[in-house]
Amino acid sequence: MLEVALRHAWPGFALDVAFTAPEGVTALFGASGCGKSTVLAAVAGLLRPLAGRVALDGAVLLDTARGVVLPPERRRCGVVFQDARLFPHLSVAANLRYGLKRAPRDATGPGFEEVVELLGIAPLLGRRPLGLSGGERQRVALGRALLARPKLLLMDEPLAALDAPRRAEVLPFLARLRDVARLPILYVTHALEEVDALADTLVLLEAGQVIAAGPVEALAARADLPALARRRDAGALVPCTVLAQDPARGLTRLGFAGGELVAPLRPGLSPGGRLRVRIRARDLAVATEPPRGISMHNILPCTLLGIDPAGEVPEGVEVFLRLAVGATPLLARVTRDTVDRLALRPGMPLWALVKSVAFDHAAGSA
């Protein structure tokens, strides 16, 4: 468990944050300039904040009130930078071993071969960083950080410098690393797809302040967080289990707490596998009675919990419907007119409709 409380300021900007990060991935999410990379640098010890306290499993890394400031080399925080920062004069193997050689003898963690295997970088070991692709470099950087046997992994937008195909190449390795490392991982990003694919806990930052923090599914289903709700891809994040693959009909059937979803066949999944599906609020329609003769696969009986303003301009034209399908919260974005036409009131039973092809874009292993 990582505990962070920091205050820092420079002209025109003030940072004042406090949050805790349990084991698993905690995403620091926010727009550029919200202070998320500053938080990460302060935790790593690369930036000294005006005031603050950082403790990892009870061990104090920074406590300005007591004058404790551990230098980065003694914090045992593995850092993956956006620009990889591999040492250009050393081979990939020597880069990987750099931290390993300097780790305390009693430190435990996955071994060299295991990490090389996990990240698929065995063919690169003898090469120099200069000749690697961006994705390869970032995989080596992940391995180097993990092999330093850290107690905490810090990732500063590790995919931001890569193009979309490279991001897709590295993302599964990040998920595997998360499952193997069994460490708190602080993951700075402004990409929601990375949050969806990796994060367990979400810390929302805006202008140097934490505006919300908690399990990522709980925050995704809230309509009152503009940083999430005003995005085009706003919507609920639903943890699912693969129930069956149906190649004959070209469908994948997914189970979640409260029902089933049908998605276009996604090869590579096997029954029992877990993944997370983002159901965007704008992809969700509602009906007051079960529709018939309709193309949509997913017709989920649900309850309308509440109607919230969508906060768009001009105001009051669109609203969020907060729905519950069993234990799973969903968000739908509809016009105010729909609410009036269907006389929607909280507590009403409704049917939530989602096209199965709406799931093509947002999912990750969880």
Residues found near another protein in the complex (CB under 8 A)? 44-46, 71-79, 81, 83, 85, 87-90, 98-99, 102-103, 128-130, 144-145, 148, 154
Question: How far apart are CB 186 and another protein at their closest, in Å?
Answer: 13
Cβ nearer to another protein, comparing 155 with 162: 155
Q: Which amino acid is at 228?
A: L
Cβ nearer to another protein, comparing 13 with 87: 87
Q: Annotate 19-76 with DSSP letters as a single string.
A: EEE-SEEEEEE--TTSSHHHHHHHHHTSS--SEEEEEETTEEEEEGGGTEE--GGGT-
Q: Annotate 207-261 with DSSP letters as a single string.
A: TTEEEEEEEHHHHHT-SS-HHHHTSTT-EEEEEEEEEEEETTTTEEEEEETTEEE
Cβ nearer to another protein, comparing 118 with 155: 155
Question: How far apart are CB 133 and another protein at their closest, in Å?
Answer: 15
Rounded Cα distance between 31 and 24, Å, is: 22
Residues 6+ apart with CB under 8 A from 341: none
Angle 164-181/112-119 helices, nearest 10 degrees?
Answer: 140
Strand stretches in 265-348, DSSP E: 274-280, 284-287, 298-309, 318-325, 328-335
Asked if residue 273 lies in contact with residue 366, where contact means CB atoms within 8 angstroms, the answer is no
Cβ nearer to another protein, comparing 30 with 45: 45
Cβ nearer to another protein, comparing 91 with 209: 91
Question: How far apart are CB 330 and another protein at their closest, in Å?
Answer: 41
Token reading at 50: 């005006």
Question: How far apart are CB 23 and another protein at their closest, in Å?
Answer: 20
Question: How far apart are CB 149 and another protein at their closest, in Å?
Answer: 9
Cβ nearer to another protein, comparing 81 with 173: 81
Cβ nearer to another protein, comparing 58 with 71: 71
Question: How far apart are CB 6 and another protein at their closest, in Å?
Answer: 18
Question: How far apart are CB 1 and another protein at their closest, in Å?
Answer: 20
Q: Which amino acid is at 69?
A: V
